[in-house]
Amino acid sequence: MPLSNRQLKYTGEVQPAEGERDEDEQPMFPYLPDDDLKEAVNLAILLKRPLLVTGEPGCGKTRLARAVAYELKLRCLTWPVKSTSRAVDGRYLFDTIGRLRDAQLASSRHLKAEEREHILERVDDPSKYIRWGVLGKAFRSNEPTVVLIDEVDKADIDFPNDLLLELDERYFTVEETGEEIRAKEGAEPIVFITSNRERDLPDAFLRRCLYYHIPFPSQERLTEIVHLHFRDASEDLVNRAVDRFQKLRDRMVEDKGKVGKKVSTSELIDWFQVLETFSEDEAMKELEGKLPASVLLKNWDDHMEYKDFI
């Protein structure tokens, strides 16, 4: 019996095993959502609305979709938005050049009659030249699919408004064939949209979304996150590493306020991975010295400002 999104609930309690990979052979990582985020995800599933997720770079916006897909055992389709992205790319692409090439090939005198007939049958069927985008695949699926539209604010200002019909009514029409592609009832995609708030999004687009801002974790939460990623690490090492990281973070927040890049959760995980290459005693000694600036500080101004502090 096909899954229905009415049966789905995200708990955040199902975590991948160490070294586990998804169906695309991409590494899976544990994800520790807070209660408010779990509620937002489940409301998005219930109301069949996209969940717009914001937060500092490195806070886990992108990994949320994969974590939900992992726990619910659903396929995750990712659409990484670029400055050149168009809304139609998410629906489908029509291979006009391929169809023209086949039509020219069919006119070749060197083809056998049966080969020509086969090619002409293909040319006469526009559906053969359609390549489905992320939304096209999700709407045609018989089971719910997790869709991640990543960094929507990178695209042109018109891009979000061009997706209103798909997000609201969950259908679109293939112009070349007249076919209507509509998400099946009970198999509507679970859509996550991330934004780094590089530009304001249109009101009409925001109205169709639920919204959640991922705050920077508390020190206690950071400790839990590191323990989850590095299950064999000692409590003392984790606590001391998080404490040093938090002092750097606090100093950067004090200096920059809400503006400017601060060290993030993902950089804490990268840094602790470096510590894991040492024995525990060696790692403790590393914590007493300077931290590796190249892992934590990502621009020249920060290197100059904080190189002595760390």
pTM of the entire predicted model = 0.85
Rounded CA separation 25/302 (Å): 35
pLDDT tens for each residue of 238-261: 999 999 999 999 999 998 887 788
Confidence band of 75 (pLDDT split at 50, 70, 90): very high
pLDDT tens for each residue of 206-223: 999 999 999 999 999 999
Q: In the CATH scheme, what architecture does the domain 5-92+129-213 have?
A: 3-Layer(aba) Sandwich (3.40)
Contacts of 288 (CB under 8 A, 6+ apart): none
94 contacts 237 by C-beta, under 8 angstroms? no
Spell out the domain ranges in the chain: 5-92+129-213, 219-306
Tell me what the pLDDT averaged over the chain comes to.
89
